[in-house]
């Protein structure tokens, strides 16, 4: 979707997040950049992070270089975010991904990094930032997960396991924080057209030794997702329109997992 069309779609929500302070991880490109822009379009002030910015990184957001796969990287980013925002109303834990495709038995290859970036980064960031939500009396935490937790793929079992842990954590955190007015929700994403996902699909093709994969074949709606499909869902979930939604995991996959049942 073009930037003009996305702007038209979100015009009616302009100002919906006015005065809100948002932290979005992995916001330099793809889904993360689209979420950052969606927050900005709705009036929020946004601090975002990644290892490096790209041409897709929204310039109106405060960008922080950070490696969230380490405790120190999370701590430093959280400190900068709080210093710039003075507090946080919205956290979107989007950073993650899968950089290797391997046998489920290859425990020494990339398991720790995969768990750190896809699960523990969110746990650590929430621990650093949620107290500011408690002080202000409310907020929203969003965790970006994957349908890999449902549609098991052996070559990314380390990634699926980390995201499964994230979804379990999402439910428990929601139960703990609901009495304090803090909502916690997750998104389980299917195949989305982003630079990172494009790289992953190429690696999967190499791993399988099959260069004729049509990724849209398995999706009932007939197309791979777009970043703005996800950003619009996040825009809804962090708004007052979703005020009675917490502890849920919203599947956004064009019907892929529905077709499995």
Active site residues: 159
Angle, CA of 133, 137 and 143, to the nearest 5°: 40
Which tokens is 107 given?
């425990």
The helix (H) or strand (E) run that includes residue 229 is: helix 227-237
CB atoms within 10 A of CB 11: 9
Give the chain's count of helices (H) and strands (E): 8, 7
- Is the dihedral angle over the CA atoms 124, 126, 129, 135 positive or is it negative? negative
CB neighbours of residue 5 within 10 Å: 10
Lookup: tokens for 113: 């990094």
Rounded to an integer, what is the distance from CA 144 to the centroid of its chain? Answer: 3
Angle between helix 3-10 and helix 227-237 axes, rounded to 10 deg: 20
> Tokens for 207?
């791993």
User: Please, which residues bridge with residue 252 across strands?
Assistant: 189
Categorise residue 100: left if φ over 0, alpha if ψ from -120 to 50, beta otherwise. Answer: beta
Distance separating alpha carbons of residues 161 and 19, to the nearest angstrom: 37
CA dihedral 115, 127, 41, 37 (to 10 degrees): -30
């Amino acid at each position: 979707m073009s930037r003009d069309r996305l702007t038209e779609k979100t015009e009616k929500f302009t100002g919906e997040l006015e005065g809100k302070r948002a932290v979005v991880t992995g916001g330099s490109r793809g889904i993360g950049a689209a979420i950052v822009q969606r927050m900005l379009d709705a009036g929020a002030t946004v601090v975002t992070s990644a290892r490096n910015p790209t041409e897709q990184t929204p310039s109106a957001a405060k960008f922080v270089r950070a490696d969230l796969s380490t405790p120190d990287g999370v701590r430093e980013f959280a400190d900068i975010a709080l210093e710039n925002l003075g507090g946080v109303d919205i956290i979107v834990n989007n950073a993650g991904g899968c950089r290797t495709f391997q046998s489920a038995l290859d425990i020494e290859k990339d398991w720790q990094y995969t768990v750190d970036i896809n699960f523990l980064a969110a746990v650590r960031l929430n621990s650093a930032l949620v107290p500011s939500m408690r002080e202000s009396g409310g907020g929203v935490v969003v965790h970006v997960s994957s349908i890999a937790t449902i549609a098991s793929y052996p070559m990314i079992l380390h990634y699926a396991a980390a995201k499964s842990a994230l979804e379990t954590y999402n439910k428990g955190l929601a139960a703990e924080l609901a009495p304090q007015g803090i909502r916690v929700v997750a998104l389980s994403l299917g195949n989305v057209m982003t630079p990172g996902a494009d790289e992953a699909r190429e690696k999967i093709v190499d791993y399988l030794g099959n260069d004729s994969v049509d990724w849209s074949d398995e999706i009932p709606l007939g197309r791979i997702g777009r970043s703005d499909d996800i950003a619009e869902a996040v825009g809804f979930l962090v708004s007052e329109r979703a005020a009675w939604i917490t502890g849920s995991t919203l599947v956004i996959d064009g019907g892929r997992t529905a077709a499995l049942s």
